[in-house]
Amino acid sequence: MTEPVRVGVVGMGTVGSGVVRLLVESADHIERHAGRRIVVERAVVKDVAKARSVPVPGGKISSDIRDISRDPSISVAALLVGGLEPARSMMIELLENGKDVVTANKALLAEHGPELFELARKHGRSIAFEAAVAGGIPIVAAIGECLAANRIESIRGILNGTSNFILTRMEEDGANYADVLKLAQQKGFAEADPSMDVDGTDATQKLAILAHLAFGVWVPWAEIPRTGIEGLDLDLLNYAGELGYRIRLVAVASRSDGKLAMRVAPALVKIGTPLAETRGAYNAVSIVGDAVGRMFFHGLGAGQMPTASAVVADIIDTVVGRAAITFRTTGLLAADSPAAKLADVDSHERHFLRINVSDRPGVLAKITGLLGDHGISIASVIQHAETASADAGVPLVIMTHACASSAVQKAVAAIDKSDVIRGKSVCLGVLDE
């Protein structure tokens, strides 16, 4: 009889517990796909005294990574610890001791991917990372393997489940931002440091990884312009709804003239379109390939079992040998990947503005005049008289016709300096296509 494959699980939080549960509860099914029994040999955690909702088979749980890295019976390690350190040192320890690694840690890959992949190659090991982007959606395999015949022209997606959960709970239930963020943390969607979810960092790191797979270039994630959802409030979501839109945190990468235009920012998406209908912790990715055309992927992008689904699929791929072949034969995250040439982000699209103005004669003329001075034409305006207050002024919501984002930003800067303004204006792009 073929010996079982023994797996070490590093980190038994939201994702690690889901992985152990799936490997134990679906062992027979998984064996059929892997061709061999896969067993959890041991887990390594930070605090061994912590109560675990999922027991480790045989009770083998400890806090020293060497209990996995130096155990010759273990061939595959699932590294499910977040952040950069000690995750990076753990990955190095595992690779140097001959373990193939599966991980969901996108921050680690976006920051140290080429260095770690180089090390894996040096030691003849593989790193698989399907769960690092878009949770349960098999987007890494889709771009890296299934769409390999295509020149990818663009990627557009919702890549952070926590932000999407917050935005949809606010728009659907009128929930308070801080309360929903807490709920996202309780549900296990958020990062240990949730500011990475809401400030756009997590989505940007995922976009950098997808851009590498799709365009073959390495993009330092911190160079990608990003804005999070922290500046949004319920009124903004309601005004967008009045105009027939939802607000989503959208990651975009598109190729044109040998350069990549990339950004992560909240944007208006038309109600009824797939991105607008992506709700809760769901993620969505729309890809345009030159042969296949537009494809759309949708599924849970965060949470225990959807993420465990992707991790366990990678463990199976590793056991079967597919991960090693992909790793050996493609230049995945190679240290000498060409650097991306990023285009200046000056999109030509409609813009949604909310400007708080004092409620007095001539104000509208002044604002439209300033927009006109910058060549910006107005498509529609909303002003609800009942929202006026002596201190905060009255919100004026403007939808522009398509114009350069650089022009609209200059106009908003001029508006914000004028004497009719009560508070900082908000300007969001509108993704009409």
H-type alpha helices, 105-149: 106-122, 139-141
Catalytic residue among 106, 122, 182, 206: 206
46 binds, among ligand NDP, ligand HSE, none (CB under 5 to 8 A by kind): ligand NDP
Distance CA 253, CA 262 (A): 4
For tokens 């994702």, name the residue: 15
Residue whose CB is less far from ligand HSE, 138 or 301: 301
15 binds, among ligand NDP, ligand HSE, none (CB under 5 to 8 A by kind): ligand NDP
Burial group, residue 328, by CB count within 10 angstroms (0-12, 13-18, 19+): exposed
Q: What are the residues whose beta carbons fall under 8 Å from the beta carbon of 418, sequence distance 6 or more?
A: 366, 370
Q: What are the residues whose beta carbons fall under 8 Å from the beta carbon of 88, sequence distance 6 or more?
A: 108, 112, 116
Is 18 in contact with 307 (CB distance < 8 Å)? Answer: yes
Strands 378-382, 61-62: pairing is unpaired
197 binds, among ligand HSE, ligand NDP, none (CB under 5 to 8 A by kind): ligand HSE
Residue whose CB is less far from ligand HSE, 157 or 161: 161
Interface residue with ligand HSE among 7, 166, 167, 190 (CB under 6 A) is 190
192 binds, among ligand NDP, ligand HSE, none (CB under 5 to 8 A by kind): ligand NDP
Token code pair at residue 253: 């990468």
Q: Is 160 in the site for ligand HSE (CB under 6 A)?
A: yes
Task: State the residue number with the nearest CB to ligand NDP.
Answer: 13
162 binds, among ligand NDP, ligand HSE, none (CB under 5 to 8 A by kind): ligand HSE
- Rounded least distance, CB 186 to ligand NDP, Å: 11
Q: Is 191 in the site for ligand HSE (CB under 6 A)?
A: yes
Q: What are the residues whose beta carbons fall under 8 Å from the beta carbon of 272, sequence distance 6 or more?
A: none
Is 33 in contact with 64 (CB distance < 8 Å)? Answer: no
* Local structure of residue 424 (DSSP, 8 states): -
Give the contact letters, 272-311, x = binds to ligand HSE (CB under 6 A), - = no: -----------------------------xx---------
Interface residue with ligand HSE among 8, 16, 161, 280 (CB under 6 A) is 161
Site of interaction with ligand HSE (CB under 6 A): 135, 160-162, 189-191, 197, 202, 301-302
Give the residue numbers annotated as catalytic, written as ranges: 206
